[in-house]
Amino acid sequence: MRTKTIYILSLFPDYFDSFQNSGVISKALNGERSSEFSLNLEIINIRDYSLGNYKSVDAYPYGGGAGMVMRADVLANSINEGIIKQFEISREDLHIIYPSPRGHTFDNKMAKKISKKIFNENEKELVFICGRYEGIDERFLQNYVDEYISIGNYVLTGGELATMSILDASLRFVEGFLGNKNSNIEESFQDNSIEYPQFTKPREFEGLCVPEVLLGGHHKNIQEYKIEQSLEMTKKFRPDLLEKTIES
């Protein structure tokens, strides 16, 4: 079985506990999703790589300003000692991602690219740096970061949630990761449209019935219904996606 490791640098590793221990992600981490591929997350505590007597991981910004800034030397030490030395990987084999509002906004296309980096052999090892406080010393970013990714035009208090969002959405595209092979083909946004509505038991709920066509077992009619409903839902909830389809 081939195992891919993703490295995450964080000051709050506990954030990743439920991410790692629940649902489909935990199954992938335990090698239960595929017989040929399993995933391993190495969550590295940046604090373990602090330097000097005071063991500080952050400091006041030069020139003043609100809050603290994460130190370049501590982050570099986490990469050099915590990944390169400990796991015997060379710097050239790392692809270092810093989730930050300065990046391009994450979408399905980027998720697919990342999923290829995760799944394919001969791809670099992925490293995610979770920023905290008011940010990271620019000199670290300049020397170490290969890619910035934003998850939207707002500012989170830290990069942990952004890292989990990026990984969660990307892992869904990793081969063998989803139980049902069709589920990500049919999933929202695949073709600039959102998903058709879903129904399950009971057949009647508060006076609302499951659409008749879904109960009939006529495969072609069901497919047509799903396509038509997907279009209807997109028109109603996300008409901007239809404009995108026309543009592309």
Binding site for ligand ADE (CB under 6 A): 99-101, 131, 150-152, 154-156, 159, 162
- Choose between 41 and 156: whose C-beta lies nearer to ligand ADE: 156
- Minimum CB distance to ligand ADE, residue 139 (Å): 19
**Least separation, in Å, of the C-beta of 18 and ligand ADE?**
19
CB of 220 to ligand ADE, least distance (A): 43
Provide the minimum distance between the beta carbon of 67 and ligand ADE in the complex, in angstroms, as a whole number. Answer: 13
The tally of CA atoms less than 13 A away on the side-chain side of residue 41 is: 26
Give me the DSSP letters along 96-134.
Answer: EEEEEEEEEEP-HHHHHHHHHHHHSTTPPEEEEE---TT
The nearer residue to ligand ADE, 62 or 154, going by C-beta atoms, is: 154
Distances (CA, A) of 238 to 1, 113, 166, 194, 241: 41, 24, 22, 8, 6
User: Which position has the token pair 């026309």?
Assistant: 246
Distance of CA 166 to the CA centre of its chain: 2
Q: Which is nearer to ligand ADE, 152 or 197 (CB)?
A: 152
Per-residue CA distances from 133 to 31, 59, 60, 119, 149 (Å):
35, 10, 10, 32, 18
- Classify 35 in phi/psi space as left (phi over 0), alpha (psi -120 to 50) or beta: alpha
CB of 140 to ligand ADE, least distance (A): 15
**How, if at all, do strands 58-59 and 69-70 pair?**
antiparallel
Taking the least distance from each CB to ligand ADE, the nearer of 94 and 151 is 151
Closer by beta carbon to ligand ADE, 15 or else 196: 15
Q: Which is nearer to ligand ADE, 100 or 230 (CB)?
A: 100
For residue 103, the minimal CB distance to ligand ADE (Å) is 7
